[in-house]
Each structure stands twice: as C-alpha cells, then as structure tokens.
Amino acid sequence: MKRTIRHRSRTRLRGRPLVDVAIGADEDAGEATGRAKGIIAVGDDAEGWLALGDRARGTVALGNDARGVVAVGGRARGLVALGGNAVGGVALGGTATGVLAVGGAAFGLVALGGLALGAVAVGGLALGVLAVGARAVGRYRYESADLGRLRSRGRRGGRDRG
C-alpha cells in the first residue's frame, strides 16, 4: 500500500493555505494523485508561489515537469528555466531553447553549447549569423584556428603609433 501524506495549514493568505502538502493517492477523496494548492505547495501535483512536486506550477516551481517564473526540473518552462529540457527567456539545460540558451544543444537568439543554433552562436558546432566554435557556420564565422590568428595579430603591435 502506498503511503499518503496530507497537511494543510490553518493560516491563509489571499484565500490559500500558507502550506499545503498532498503526497500519494487519496482514495477516500477520489484523488489518483496528491493535489496541493497553497502559498507553499508540496505534492504530486503542486500549485503555489513555491511549488515542489512531480508536476509543479508556480512563481518558483521545482519538479519533474516545472512551469513558473523560475522553473527547475526535468522539463522546465519559465522566464528562467533550468533543467534537462529547458524552455524560457533564459534557458539552461541539456537541451535549451530561449532568448539566451545555454546547454548541450542550445537554440536561441544567443546560443552557447556543444551544438549552438542562433543569431549569435558559440559552441563546438555553431550555426548562426555570428558563429564562433570548432566548427562554425555563418555569415561571420570564427573557428578555433581563426581565433589563434586574431590573438597573434594583436600581439604584433597592431597600428603604428608613429
């Protein structure tokens, strides 16, 4: 038999309990999963300002499937998203998609990663308008060998000070 944990604080803020914990199925209530809704929500399915659970939705969400302003989890969606698969304004993860994307495979306006695809792309394989990397493809591209040449030109003195 699976363990069920339930706790709901009496203190309320804006009509929601300050803390709501719901873990495991509650057959008496007809719930297949624990649904927690509170300022701080912890459960299988959590919704709150701070949400922690398998499915978490909130201002700050932490869980397997996290959605929020700041989302951290396996699949993270948010303004700032950190996770295995991250989508957001600023996305950091194994696969990252966003305005600023950093990850193994990064797709965004500015992309940094092993595979980077974006207007500005930096990575092992970089594809973009401005591309920098071991293999760079783009209108303005700099590969590792190019960067070494640029650095050595700067050391030779550059312009005459005449």
Provide the strand spans (E) within the chain. 5-8, 12-13, 16-17, 19-23, 35-37, 40-62, 65-117, 120-127, 130-137, 140-143
Per-residue model confidence (pLDDT) at position 152: 54
Q: What is the pTM of this model?
A: 0.80
Per-residue model confidence (pLDDT) at position 1: 47
Q: How far apart are CA 80 and CA 102, in angstroms?
A: 12
Domain boundaries, the chain: 1-63, 81-156
Q: How far apart are CA 116 and CA 125, in angstroms?
A: 6
Per-residue model confidence (pLDDT) at position 162: 43
Q: How far apart are CA 98 and CA 88, in angstroms?
A: 5
**Tens digit of each residue's pLDDT, the chain (162 residues):** 467 777 787 877 788 888 998 888 777 766 778 888 999 999 999 999 999 999 999 999 999 999 999 999 999 999 999 999 999 999 999 999 999 999 999 999 999 999 999 999 999 999 999 999 999 999 999 987 766 665 555 544 444 444
